[in-house]
């Protein structure tokens, strides 16, 4: 039993709060989680980047979920993005044929993530984008953001959400183009260059 001397003031430290992760990395990833595009699809694009904390250090146990429309701008209606082995109950990944528009990716030991998907088509007045949900240590709740793809400057300039973002921070929502259909999108949770995160009400 701990006794406290009540005759002198004590500094009481708060109980540490519970944060998101990194326990989810043991149960939620599945084989092929980043392989969103059907195998061998000719219009596949590759997305990759890093997740950084407020001090600029890469997070080796962050977790991303991506959602995106198909190239025509329609939301996929395919049930399920992963399969289970009926005999073992283990995950087999995707069937490699149907486009679900959804992926789940864990960062590696260097804080790097990557996914293969199809370039989404525009929906309504919005420029093409992928929705992102970020889970990481230190977060009390997960964060939402978007990945806009470069290539159609007029569509980006007219996008209703991007028009509300401070021009100095708008680039944190737009991927940079690499070579051979690749795009880079880094996520910074805090500090200089912090990614714009969205709040849904």
Q: What is the DSSP letter of 91?
A: E
CB 102, CB 36: distance < 8 Å: yes
1 vs 20, which has greater pLDDT?
A: 20
Q: What is the DSSP letter of 154?
A: H
Q: What is the DSSP letter of 80?
A: -
Banded pLDDT at 1 (limits 50, 70, 90): very low
Give how far Cα 55 sits from Cα of 58, 166, 176, Å.
Answer: 9, 23, 22
> Is residue 189 over pLDDT 50?
yes
Provide the mean pLDDT of the chain.
85
* Residue pLDDT, tens place only, 80-117: 666 677 788 776 667 778 888 999 999 999 999 999 99
32 vs 7, which has greater pLDDT?
A: 32
The predicted pLDDT at position 9 comes to: 55
The C-alpha atoms of residue 173 and residue 169 are separated, in whole angstroms, by: 8
Q: How buried is residue 185: exposed, middle or buried, by Cβ count under 10 Å (0-12/13-18/19+)?
A: buried
CB 68, CB 120: distance < 8 Å: yes
73 vs 4, which has greater pLDDT?
A: 73
End-to-end CA gap in the chain: 46
The predicted pLDDT at position 58 comes to: 96
Helix ranges restricted to H, the chain: 153-158
* Residue pLDDT, tens place only, 17-70: 555 555 666 667 777 889 999 888 888 999 999 999 999 999 998 999 999 999
CB 147, CB 129: distance < 8 Å: yes
Average pLDDT of the residues in 154-165? 95
Give the residue among 103, 91, 10, 94 at the shortest CA–CA distance from 63.
103
Sequence-ordered strand ranges (E) for the chain: 44-52, 63-68, 83-84, 91-93, 102-106, 112-118, 129-135, 143-148, 176-177, 182-184, 187-188
């Amino acid at each position: 039993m701990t006794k406290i001397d009540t005759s002198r003031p004590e500094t009481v430290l708060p109980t540490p709060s519970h944060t998101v992760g990194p326990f989810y990395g043991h149960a939620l990833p599945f084989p092929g989680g980043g392989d969103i595009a059907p195998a061998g699809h000719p219009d596949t694009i590759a997305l990759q980047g890093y997740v950084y904390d407020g001090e600029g250090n890469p997070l080796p146990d962050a977790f991303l979920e991506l959602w995106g429309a198909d190239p025509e701008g329609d939301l996929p209606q395919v049930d399920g993005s992963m399969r289970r082995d009926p005999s073992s109950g283990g995950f087999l990944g995707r069937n490699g044929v149907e486009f679900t528009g959804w992926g789940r990716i864990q960062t590696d030991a260097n804080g790097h993530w990557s996914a293969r998907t199809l370039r989404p088509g525009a929906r309504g007045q919005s420029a093409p984008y992928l929705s992102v949900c970020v889970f990481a240590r230190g977060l009390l709740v997960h964060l939402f953001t978007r990945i806009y793809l470069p290539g159609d400057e007029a569509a980006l300039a007219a996008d209703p959400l991007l028009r509300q973002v401070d021009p100095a921070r708008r680039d944190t929502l737009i991927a940079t183009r690499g070579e051979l259909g690749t795009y880079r999108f880094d996520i910074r949770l805090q500090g200089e260059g912090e990614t714009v995160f969205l709040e849904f009400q």
